[in-house]
Structure 1
């Protein structure tokens, strides 16, 4: 009987433990699990809303929506049928449209110069005679410029959307609104980096912000203090003739079909990619015979774009890990026919740490597309997400890594050569902030002299394709903002020319 009683008590005790475990599990099940994508969205709402102001809600919606792609035709395949197929779908050739817009802008500029000369000689033009203003071409202006124009011109000249945005972008109202909602981390013992704000109502996680911003304690330095001069690129950006790229017009969210296999040349006929990825390659301005380095090349799309220009004398595609290098090799294998010795001899794939590259003045052009927050991926994919709790330290170290990669790129390019720094994030710290830190360290630690190229005018003809962010206080680069009409990006580029 004693043994039976002990056994019964043990059973009851075990049942009690099991019930407690089940209750704890049920309680856990009721608690909502925070995903990596939710952490990313919360971070962006805290970090980006004060920076992008009234534009943030539309950018946020675009980031959470279906992205838009361009199709890069493969020059090493039979592409005539592909062109017909894309045109039948309603896609247009970006290069041809860009050339037409450039020519239109050139003619308008010449007319403007002629009018100015005539006015200086006392002659009058139609505008002076009739008192009517000539409507500017909307195709040249980005959304923010349209809003600014809508603030000062008659109501009927611009759509309701732009006039409402113009009213919302009143500088006085915006500054007052931000002043009431945000504090600077410097007031909490952190950095003095411009545009590095945290809303006062959302102080949770501030320690991470301060830690991330501590890298940029010298960000308040002016350009002269770090030896940086600015070159203004007046001429529109060049579009290589051999690039055959198709896109759907604004507002058209159609998809391109899957790439087709060319049975004769045994390669794919086109490559689909985010349309904003074209911008860093265009900014690189590859010339015939240039030695080009794509420092952080995986998965290989931008290297493929450079190759499709048929301009470089040498293209080195590098990345740090074997897995990434393998992806680059696979892309080249899928798009370059075997036995094409002229192309095979000019393409080299290497596996090196870009921070310690050790190559000095070896290249004419260097593209450094750095690891970053990858905003769109962070909001859409829970796997391999930089906002995973176990990757906090990695995320906080990104600005330092980015600036080191840019420094290495400036050492690798020859005097007179060009470096293009790019990211796919809207983070001011990882864009202008990382560039500033690299330029500051280059000035303090080396004898290299650099000039930042102001491309604000040079990229204007591409406004038919991108929504460029203006009036954001950027010191060094340009940024493409995602938009529901043209859902490319985000993409930040900064062009730096090495002087000595």
Structure 2
């Protein structure tokens, strides 16, 4: 006879199992954190603990004062609230530095600590993948585990990464056909003639790939985008001069001060008083060093903050804001309408143009003086804070692993859009050496091998000293092609990587 308590017990058990399943389900932010702990923990060592804490904390903003609004009123309000003009901080740092004794550019010392770290990570990741595919004890012999996994890039539409096992030919047994022709001990009378049946045994071929593996991409493939050997001309030039835009007004609070800004207000010109953005985002457009009359391209413009900074310098002759989707361009248009006075009548299609195109396929080569290439990336801080639109979503694994390839294609094409002598700044909001130095290296190699373009890498290790009172920078010895703003609790900006390149030919 079934007792009531047994029914209750079964119901309770079912509920507990259900809760256990729900408990085990990971969020996108948890997947991102696990990935970063594994990857960045190896890259940054003991420093990762502090960087991690900063990334998981609300980031710090910088206020861009709108030159088309009540400029004096807004700046006075900022000063009364204790905010500091970045231009004044830069000038103080310039006086403190005094005369600079020139040191060798980065390119003269090509040692890069990240090289060895990434090589080690790649080997470890490959080992994990090998043993995941060929676990110990799964076969009679472990000799079938390949020593190395190689990946072939197919040129067909929708390029696929196909897994190939690189066995040494001498370890292969003879094929079925070879055995039939050479082995006199085989009883050929037992072979089945195809004309008498459709069983297919005569045409049987041993399986050489696992069904479903065609679209599988190993995690280690991501690290393979990081290359260090240069088979192209590589020139470095130390940048010793920096000119802060006279009309640009940016305000911040001193290091350690986490005060919040007042919300933007409508001005008498019907535009907003100031624009708030992550502080590190100001550096790529600042180091692009736009001059009066420059023709400028923002290749991946949304959401529009960096484009707004470039316009607020009042220097560009024309700024072209490009992005791949109309919805993203609408975000840029919204920012411009809110902050540019008389935008529709005097700006759009005159001094400010919108372009919808995949930046990998933009044409109009050798037509821009300056280009900002702020590419799509893993957006590390967003990935740790927001589940929505998170690149670590399980359905976006392929997209995430192929990000460096996308970034390199965008950068190499933008180098073609530069006039000889023109400058470009490549930037990401990621800590990843693969997406940063690795992509720059790959793009320079591609631009030279396919189009004969040679580039000078601008070493900004001196001029960033002007901003060290505001930002925490990575040590130059750990980076080859650019600079990196590290998240740091007293100055919680970034991450932001940026590399400045000048086209020679």
For normalisation by structure 1, the TM-score amounts to 0.75
1:214 has 2:224 as partner: yes
1:273 has 2:277 as partner: yes
CA shift for structure 1 position 436: 0.7
5+ long unaligned stretches in structure 2: 1-6, 103-112, 128-146, 151-215
Per the alignment, residue 166 of structure 1 pairs with none
Kept in 2, the 8 Å contact 1:261–1:267? The answer is yes
Give runs of aligned pairs for residues 99-138 of structure 1, distance below 5 A: 99-106=91-98, 109=100
Q: Which has the higher helix share?
A: 1
Separation in structure 1 between the aligned mates of residue 440 and residue 121 of structure 2, nearest angstrom: 28
Per the alignment, residue 336 of structure 1 pairs with 340
Kept in 1, the 8 Å contact 2:374–2:426? The answer is yes
CA shift for structure 1 position 97: 1.6
Kept in 2, the 8 Å contact 1:52–1:472? The answer is no
CA shift for structure 1 position 461: 1.0
Q: Measured at CA, do residues 350 and 245 of structure 1 come closer, stay the same or move farther in structure 2, by a change above 3 Å?
A: same
Separation in structure 1 between the aligned mates of residue 25 and residue 444 of structure 2, nearest angstrom: 42
SS in 1 for 2:32: helix
Q: Measured at CA, do residues 178 and 385 of structure 1 come closer, stay the same or move farther in structure 2, by a change above 3 Å?
A: closer
CA shift for structure 1 position 441: 0.8
CA shift for structure 1 position 497: 0.4
Separation in structure 1 between the aligned mates of residue 402 and residue 117 of structure 2, nearest angstrom: 31
Give 1:387's match in structure 2, choosing from 369, 385, 392: 392
Deviates more, 1:437-446 or 1:340-349: 340-349
Kept in 1, the 8 Å contact 2:122–2:224? The answer is no
Per the alignment, residue 49 of structure 2 pairs with 57
CA shift for structure 1 position 103: 2.6
1:230 has 2:221 as partner: no
Size of the aligned set, in residue pairs, is 407
Separation in structure 2 between the aligned mates of residue 214 and residue 20 of structure 1, nearest angstrom: 49
Separation in structure 1 between the aligned mates of residue 121 and residue 337 of structure 2, nearest angstrom: 52
SS in 1 for 2:275: strand
5+ long unaligned stretches in structure 1: 1-14, 114-171, 192-205
Deviates more, 1:252-261 or 1:336-345: 336-345
Q: Measured at CA, do residues 246 and 440 of structure 1 come closer, stay the same or move farther in structure 2, by a change above 3 Å?
A: same
Kept in 2, the 8 Å contact 1:277–1:491? The answer is yes
Separation in structure 1 between the aligned mates of residue 13 and residue 399 of structure 2, nearest angstrom: 35
CA shift for structure 1 position 389: 0.3
SS in 1 for 2:222: helix
Separation in structure 1 between the aligned mates of residue 148 and residue 416 of structure 2, nearest angstrom: 34
Give 1:189's match in structure 2, choosing from 148, 152, 162: 148
1:255 has 2:260 as partner: yes
Give 1:370's match in structure 2, choosing from 375, 381, 387: 375
Give runs of aligned pairs for residues 420-499 of structure 1, distance below 5 A: 420-470=425-475, 473-499=478-504
Deviation by residue 1:91-125 (Cα, 9 ceiling, x = unmatched): 1111112112213323x55xx89xxxxxxxxxxxx
Per the alignment, residue 106 of structure 2 pairs with none
Kept in 1, the 8 Å contact 2:336–2:343? The answer is no
Separation in structure 2 between the aligned mates of residue 177 and residue 331 of structure 1, nearest angstrom: 41
Per the alignment, residue 421 of structure 2 pairs with 416
1:305 has 2:313 as partner: no
Kept in 2, the 8 Å contact 1:280–1:420? The answer is yes
1:350 has 2:355 as partner: yes
* Superposed CA RMSD: 3.2
Deviation by residue 1:250-289 (Cα, 9 ceiling, x = unmatched): 0011111111011x31100000000000110111010110
Deviation by residue 1:162-200 (Cα, 9 ceiling, x = unmatched): xxxxxxxxxx9x999999999555777369xxxxxxxxx
1:282 has 2:290 as partner: no
Separation in structure 1 between the aligned mates of residue 115 and residue 315 of structure 2, nearest angstrom: 47
